[in-house]
Structure 1
Amino acid sequence: MALRVAGVDPGLTRCGLAVVDVEPNRRATLVDVAVVGSGPDQALDARLLVIAEAIDAWLDRHRPDVLAVERVFSQLNVSTVMGTAQASGIVIAAAARRGIPVALHTPTEVKAAVTGSGQADKDAVGRMVARILRLDAPPRPADAADAAALAITHGWRGAAPGSHASASAHGGSSGLTPAQRAWAQAEAAARKGGACRR
């Protein structure tokens, strides 16, 4: 049975939304993808309402098993972090109201999961998303492809017997692919960095 994952690349100006079904054999299929957002000339409350209404409709329409959201990092400029964090909070609360589990993934984890390199650029991520989902071209704009990449990343972790989560549970990484090893290293680095910041 496929795991239905909603991926969200949060932002006020552009918030990427994607839903991907991931089968136990790691085959991933795009169900839907969109980008919602608002202009910087609008008041903050109105901008957040746009996100809130869109994510409510998205979750009610697609009923995902889990929601994957990009983890906010502090090295971005403050205004960008604030907007991203505010959008993330709206999305996470919408999932919580419906009892949908939420997973947070760093950009490095996502890049490593879909391309095998935590340093991949957006074009490389988009190309791999298209290849994984058997699309003629990456979802546009890049925020949509990023949302799909988030969904794929979590789906592979949660649905596949050979995923990193499964390998960890069995006490090792010897059976991991190069992409999965890169992903595991990215996760470990994120955990270590988070511990240092606390």
Structure 2
Amino acid sequence: MKRTQNGMLAIFVSLAFLAFETVEARAQQLGIPQSVILTIASERLFAESKFGRRVARLIEAESAVLAAENRQIEAQLTTEEQELTDRRPGMDADAFRVLANAFDEKVRQIRREQDAKARALAQQSDNARIEFLNAAAPVLETMMRDAKASVILERASVFLSANATDVTDLAIARIDLVLGDGAITEQDPDQ
């Protein structure tokens, strides 16, 4: 009886070891390091993902439009200021001051409007990053489980680590598979 129990124990230990090896081998096949701590370069994660590259192109295009608009407004204001300056010698000082103050207020209003557009563009970029991180979280959580990790730390905040704990490239590849570029198409409005 004791011999049978020892045999069963040996079989159980062997099966448990094989199961552990299978999980370990699966994780290694997936390219995931087995570590309780993983690191990731979050800036690179966003910037090099399809999602991040799409957002960067969009923000760059909208920034170019805003810059062109600012140059056009600047040219118009320069022309208007020159016309006001040219009219000054033939005007009463008080009448000129009224026009000059109105022009200054117009310039301040335009500056506020253009600054608001620039802030909205920056906010759009920040919102896209938040959207990306929220959408990427399940992918990163799966990677943590596969690696048997308990935490993913920002690579830049880690003083020293083995390069094997950096899963940024793998995370980018997996996130690209799941999210693509993150664009919502008209054909699939439920995304």
TM-score (norm 1): 0.21
Q: Which has the larger radius of gyration?
A: 2
Q: Which has the higher strand share?
A: 1
TM-score (norm 2): 0.21
